[in-house]
Amino acid sequence: MPVITTYICDKCELEQDTRDGMFDVGITLKSQNNRLLQAPILQALWCRKCTEAAQLGHFLKIQLSKEKETEPLPATLEDMVRDIVDECVGDAMANAD
C-alpha cells in the first residue's frame, strides 16, 4: 500500500502532492562567529505565494518569481517630442480645413 504525502502551507493551507515550491521558513539564532546557538525557534512550511507576499526572497537568496512583473518604462524625450509634433500637426490640419 503506497504512502501518499500531502504538503500543506502553514499560512494559507494550500495543499499539494510535491514539495516543489514549498519553503521551510523559520527563525534561528546565531552568534557573530556564525555558530548556531539554537535550533529553529519557529518553523513553518510556506508555499511560493505566501513567501513572495512576505517578500522573503532576499533572505532565501533565491529567485522566487519566475516571471518578473515589468513596469512600463517612462516615456523618453524622443517619445514626448514625437507626441508634441503629432499633436501640433493634428491641430494644424484641423485648423486648415
Extended strands (E) in 1-97: 7-8, 15-16, 22-30, 36-47
CA dist., res. 97 & res. 78, Å (int): 29
Highest mean pLDDT among 31-35, 49-53, 66-70: 49-53
Q: What is the model's pLDDT at position 8?
A: 92
Residue, of 4 and 72, whose pLDDT is higher? 4
Q: What is the model's pLDDT at position 97?
A: 62
Confidence of residue 32 (pLDDT cuts 50, 70, 90): confident
Q: What is the model's pLDDT at position 40?
A: 66
Ranges 20-29, 35-44, 57-66: which has the least confidence: 57-66
Residue, of 93 and 46, whose pLDDT is higher? 46
The owner of cell 502553514 is 10
